[in-house]
Amino acid sequence: MDTKYDIFPQEVVEKLEYYVYRLIDPRNGETFYVGKGKGNRVFAHMKAAIDEKGLDEVSDKLQTIREIHSNGLKVIHVIHRHGMDVKTAYEVEAALIDAYPNATNIMGGSHSNDYGPMHSSQIINKYAAEEVIFNHKVIMINVNQSKLEKNLYDAVRYAWRLSKKKAEEADYVVANSQGIIIGVYKPILWLKATKENFPEFTFHIKNRYGFHGEEAPIEIKEMYLRKRIPESFRKKGAANPIKYSY
């Protein structure tokens, strides 16, 4: 594997400011990752894939990069838009992640679940739905739109950056999309996101957690399903997909 990393000259860095980029697989021309940053952030993923080659726990993104390099090819780096302030970069990144749902991004873009692409009926449901009142300790997790094609339980239970101690206080975990609760689960055991704890998943990430659990009882689902998360938990621009009711 080539151990040389591409970098921007300093005079280029000074002109770029914040930018949004895409990583493209030269084998099929598909965008497999969308990101934002400054300086040489766009090249940092190549460095991680090379320098951390001995690690067993790698994301789909790093695995794709390694496969590209093992075929004697180089990842294509595209600066999609530059010269932005950080707020604009968040918005552009979120729009691009929505536009490339098959990318390996684990998280959606900033607030993409609330303001991303929606059918007109979803817009009506989002703003006309009854606001939920939580009668339990609940963890709210925004589920990326692209993950909805998968099993919802798997999409909401893995893998999140959170406090294990605080998560263990929760009575239920609710999955929400565009601010509407679409699933309610009872977490039984919170564990680190490793191969040993979650062999059914193909990617494993340090310092993240997931849970083993089950669907909530019918009476609990009737209490929360299809209701709207209060605005106080959905501040525009908040990137963290995890919110607590307690």
pLDDT in tens, 172-195: 999 998 889 999 999 999 999 999
Q: What is the pLDDT of residues 93-138, one digit of tens each?
A: 988 887 887 676 655 544 555 655 566 666 666 667 889 999 999 9
State the pLDDT at residue 232. 87
Peptide bond into 159 cis (omega under 30): yes
Write out the residue limits of the CATH 3.10.590 domain(s) in the chain. 115-244
The CATH topology of domain 10-105 is GIY-YIG endonuclease (3.40.1440)
> Which two structure tokens, joined as six digits, stand for 198?
């979650």
92-123 residues labelled b (16+ CB within 10 A) or e (exposed): bbbbbbbebbebbbbebbbbbbbbbebeeeee
Domain 115-244, classified CATH 3.10.590, yes or no? yes
DSSP-assigned letters across all residues of 188-238: EEEEES-TTT-TT-S---TT-EEEEEEEPPHHHHHHHTTPBPPGGG--TT-
> Which two structure tokens, joined as six digits, stand for 243?
């919110």
- pTM equals 0.55
Write out the residue limits of the CATH 3.40.1440.10 domain(s) in the chain. 10-105
State the pLDDT at residue 146. 55
Q: Which residues of the chain have pLDDT under 50?
A: 1-3, 56, 109-110
205-242 residues labelled b (16+ CB within 10 A) or e (exposed): beebbbbebeebeeebbebbbebbbeeebbeeeeeebe
